[in-house]
Amino acid sequence: MQLFAVEKQPRRGLTPVDWAVLIYVVLTLLLMLFLWDRLLNPMQMLWFRFQAVALVVAMWAVYKWLPCPFTLLVRLSSQLSLLGLWYPDTYEFNRLFLNLDHLFAQAEQSFFGFQPALTFSVEWSHPVFSELMALGYVSYYPLIALVFVYYFIWCNDELNRAAFTIIASFFLFYIIFIFLPVAGPQYYYPAAGIDNIASGVFPAMGNYFETHQESLPIPGWGEGLFHQLVVDAHDAGERPTAAFPSSHVGVTVVLLWLAWRAGSLRLLWLMMPFAVLMFFATFYIQAHYAIDAIAGIAAGTLIYFICQGLYRFVKW
């Protein structure tokens, strides 16, 4: 592939990724207008949306000026790079709704008879196991980049579909998180009281997380490289939001489906160990309840096929 070879018939208009971004911006803007007086940082949220739309326009102009594989790559990847910044934005919405963690912790207790997120890292605390769990968790964005690059190099005619599937999957998860305020064990356990959790008592927290973001320390081997990466990622952007279903598991499942669609068993099997580690890591580090991870598998599969259906309406 010649990265800077100018396309003879450059494609016009918005890419599927552009459409996904603009639709999400419009939907959340409407929600912002409805909740404006209750939002803590509405102008900051509005400014971020303006920047996202400006980036769509700027990348469209760059591609129009030089329509080639490289500028298309930049156009698509620029929006994918913002996904981590959209994540804490969900907290600005769901902090306004009554927290539901007590229901999910009770469901966890009913299903397992105990709280896996409370005991897993205690029972399996060996440094090697701890680092494997942390490795699984931090492999999230590298796996996304791996699939995206694979499509760019070996399945370029399907690159727009793959990029759209990835970004639309994130946005669909984010919409769920906005209206389903579940903070996860790392926030709910200390707020409810560890003694209560251990005794099977799960108090409702109401609007507690509207003003509180205190969390448990990340469990695991503190001196481990991957453990520190998890801690750094948590400190950089984690909020009491987005616990159910696990988007880490769900998006990883979407990536596995994309690997299958690409027809690459080698890519699929390369990713599979990290996907398994990801599943268990989500509740090992107490970011999720175990039922969140289980639901993430089902949600990821459902969202993958929803995205394939939506792609027909935005196909470039």
Give per-residue pLDDT as tens, 48-88.
999 999 999 999 999 999 999 999 999 999 999 999 999 99
Instruction: Please determine, for residue 2, whether its predicted confidence score (pLDDT) is greater than 90.
Output: no
Residues of the chain with pLDDT > 90, as a percent, come to 97
Predicted pLDDT at 107: 98
Q: Which helix (H) or strand (E) holds 132?
A: helix 127-138
Residues of the chain with pLDDT > 70, as a percent, come to 100
Sequence-ordered list of residues with C-beta below 8 angstroms from that of 313, at least 6 positions apart, any chain: none
| Amino acid letter, residue 296 | G
**Other Cβ atoms closer than 10 A to 24:** 20
Q: What tens digit of pLDDT does each residue of 217-274 get? A: 999 999 999 999 999 999 988 999 999 999 999 999 999 999 999 999 999 999 999 9
Q: What is the mean pLDDT of the chain?
A: 97
Q: Give per-residue burial for 36-74: e unless 16+ CB within 10 Å, then b.
A: eeebeeeeebeebbeebeebbeebbebbeeebebebbbe
CA distance between the termini of the chain: 20
Instruction: Please determine, for residue 1, whether its predicted confidence score (pLDDT) is greater than 80.
Output: no
Tell me the mean pLDDT in the region 103-126. Answer: 98
Three-state DSSP class for residue 176: helix
